[in-house]
Amino acid sequence: MGILSGVKIIEMEGIGPGPFCGMQLADMGAEVILIQRPSPEGTKAPPNDAAVLNRGKKIIQLNLKDPNHQSQVMDLIRHADGLIEGMRPGVMERLGLGPDICLKENPKLAYGRVTGWGQSGPLAHAAGHDINYIALSSALWYSGRPGDAPVTPPTLIGDIGGGALHLTIGMLAAIFNAHRTGKGEVIDAAMVDGSANMMNLLFSSRAGGRLSNERGKSLLDGPHWYDSYRCSDNKFITIGALEPKFYQLLLDKLGLSADQDFADQLDSSKWPVQKATLSRLFSHQPQAYWCDLLEGSDACFSPVLNPDEAAQHPHNMAREVFLNRNNNLEANAAPRFLNHPCEPPANAQMSTSADVLAEWSQSDK
């Protein structure tokens, strides 16, 4: 039984952040009902690219433009703790399923909305994707080398960090508040808001004078001791020896303790020379050599791994970070709970609104 056992969530079919939030809630034990568009009659269902994100959910196929199907959704909403939707602002209202109507039918409902630009503002109705939202929020600014165009891991900062995770937090807070007060809430989770919020750790450094608007001049985007390096086998490693004692250990292990070029860790004028030296040093040996020398020490080291390599790493295997199902790689549920251990999430199951409504009506008694 997951820690959210008994919590009932309706997820309207979408892409990216909404399904990810639904997966997280299902991983923690919530009963998540995914309302999915039926495939046009006579056509094959498209490949299930969302198989991982739909794990642990029950799927009901309903046409939200059909008044009868809308009525079935509303019947479920009356018994739900939360609803997740990721459509453009105004779409749910046009379908007769907007927050005003839903909260009138279920005053305790946590109505979660995730979009790129938010429900209001001059860009609210414009199209966009992860990279656009994090560019506008400044979360993309410090990614990449000085003088080069910024680069970012696809979807991780905007869709997942700025959108899905903030939506999950908002849903849990609203459900908790409803249990305390009996009052529902509407959550406006915008990726531009969330990714800006994630910048507050860097903004804290900025307030202390340690973050520059000039890329490559700050503690986490310029120094030689916080970067990735190419090895002789064209694989990569990472160093993050921020604290002085960890930096000194790194120098000791690399045989650089007596090199005066490395004596002052924080002298940014020497960072380019120091980085060039480390680049040459690391390029002389394969990744495995540096793993043998540095991994597991306080030098703040790790290899850069592709997904298949990550799944086979001893640390990840010991913690069962990944699972393989039907020859597909998935990351296991996170976070972990001591008294509510998560079982490997089950595959999605097809259901009907009548069956789910019967179960939910019984559980409400």
- Which contacts (CB < 8 Å, 24+ apart) does range 98-107 have? 99/186, 102/74, 102/77, 103/184, 103/186, 105/74, 105/77, 105/78, 106/77, 106/78, 106/79, 106/80, 106/184, 107/182, 107/183, 107/184
**Longest alpha-carbon distance in the chain:** 78
Is 69 one of the annotated active-site residues of the chain? no
| Element spanning 302, H or E | strand 301-304
Q: Are strands 236-240 and 226-230 parallel, antiparallel or unpaired?
A: antiparallel
Is 129 one of the annotated active-site residues of the chain? yes
Cis peptide leading into 345, omega within 30 of 0?
Answer: no
Q: 109: which 2 tokens?
A: 């409902």
Q: Distance between CA 361 and CA 365 in Å, rounded?
A: 7
Look-up of token digits 């990721």: 86
For residue 54, the Cα-to-chain-centroid distance in whole angstroms is: 15
Which residue type occupies 31? E
Catalytic one of 159, 188, 221, 227: 159
Catalytic one of 69, 79, 129, 313: 129
The three-state secondary structure class of 154 is coil
Q: Give the residue numbers annotated as catalytic, written as ranges.
A: 129, 159
